[in-house]
Amino acid sequence: MQNQAAAEDNDWNILKLLQWTTTYFTSRSVENPRAAAEILLASVLQLERVDLYVRHDLPLSADELGRFKELIRRRVAGEPVAYIVGKREFWSMDFTVTPAVLIPRPETECLVEAALRHLEDLPEGQNVLELGTGCGAVILALAARKPQHCFYASDLSGEALGVAYQNACRHALEKNVRFFCGSWLDPVQNRCARFEMIVSNPPYIRRSSIDNLQVEIRRFEPLMALDGGEDGLRSLEEIIGSAAGSLKAGGRLLLEIGHDQKQALEAIINRIGGYEDVNFIKDYSGHDRVVALRNKIGPA
C-alpha cells in the first residue's frame, strides 16, 4: 500500500473512519449520515460500498485521508452526496449527475413503473418521448427495460443533454434514445411521428416555496428543473395543453406532480379538455405523485 508509514502513523482504518464520520455527520444534522459516510469513503478509495466492510481494517494513507476530509467538508456545507461523487443510483442503474441536472429522486420510480405498465402489452416499435430529461434517468430506465420501442428525449439545457447522452453511453443505450435540445415539445414537433406515450417530471415547485427547501436543493440543484412558476403548475399546464397534438389517438401522457396538486390539476385538465381516463397514482409514501391521461380518440 502506498504511504505505509503515514498510514501507520495516523492509525485510521475504514471502520474507525466510518464510525467517526457518522457521528460527526449526525452532530451536523446531515441526512442519512452512515450512508453518506460510506458513499464518500468508497468514492475516495475507489471501492464498492460493500467492500468497505470486507476490508474494514484497511489503513488509509495521508493522501486518502486528506481527500476524504475535503469531501466531508463539502457535504457539511450542504452539497449533496450525488454531486460530490458525480453519480446516483435510480432504478438499480448508476447515473452520472452534475449540478446541471436534478438528482433523480426515488419517488420518480413511480413514473417509470406507470410508464412500463402501460407499455406492457403494446406491439414493438412504439414511440416514447420524455420532456425535460435532465440526466436521462427516466427515459434510459424505460429504454433498458423495453429495448423493442423507440425513445426520444428533449431538454432545454444543452449541458443536461450532454449528461443524458453520457448516461446513454454508460448503459450502451445511445442507439435506443434520440436526444433533442429545446423547450418541451418544440424540438420534436413535425420531426417525429406521433407518440404513443409522453412522460415528464417537469418543475412543479411553487416559486415562493423554493426559499424554504433544504439547502441541498435550494443552493445546489438547477432552479430551472424545480421552479414551476407562481403556482407551481406552469410547466404542467403548458405540457398538458400542448401534448395532445403530438400524441396518437389513445396515446398516454404521464406526468410527475407535487403531492398537493391533484385538485388543481383536475381543474386544469377539465378546462383544457381533449383527455379521458384521468388517473392519479400514489407513490410509496401515499402521496399523489403521477397523473396519467389518455388522449381522446378523435380527429387528429
Q: Which residues bind ligand GLN (CB under 6 A)?
A: 105, 201-205, 217, 226, 256
Contacts with 269 (C-beta within 8 Å, 6 or more apart), sequence order? 240, 275, 278, 291, 293
Q: Which is nearer to ligand GLN, 84 or 226 (CB)?
A: 226
Shortest CB 233 distance to ligand GLN, Å: 11
Identity of the residue, 119 or 205, whose beta carbon is nearer to ligand GLN in the bound complex: 205
Closest contact distance (angstroms) between CB of 256 and ligand GLN is: 6
Q: 23-43 as b/e, with b when 16 or more CB fall inside 10 Å?
A: eebeeeebeebeebbbbbbbb
The answer to whether the CB of 32 falls within 8 A of the CB of 25 is no
Nearer CB in complex with ligand GLN: 45/255? 255
Report the amino acid identity of residue 257: I
294: phi then psi, degrees, rounded to nearest 5: -110, 130
Decide whether 60 or 111 has the Cβ nearer to ligand GLN.
111
Shortest reach from residue 235's CB to ligand GLN, in Å: 8
Closer Cβ to ligand GLN, 187 or 203, answer by number:
203
Q: Measured between alpha carbons, how far is 154 from 179 in angstroms, rounded to an integer?
A: 6
CB of 136 to ligand GLN, least distance (A): 15
Residue number with CB closer to ligand GLN (103 or 168): 103
Min dist. Cβ of residue 16 to ligand GLN (A): 35
Beta carbon of residue 23, minimum distance to ligand GLN (angstroms, whole number): 28
Residue 97 cell numbers, joined = 449527475
Decide whether 129 or 233 has the Cβ nearer to ligand GLN.
233
CB 287, min distance to ligand GLN, A: 10
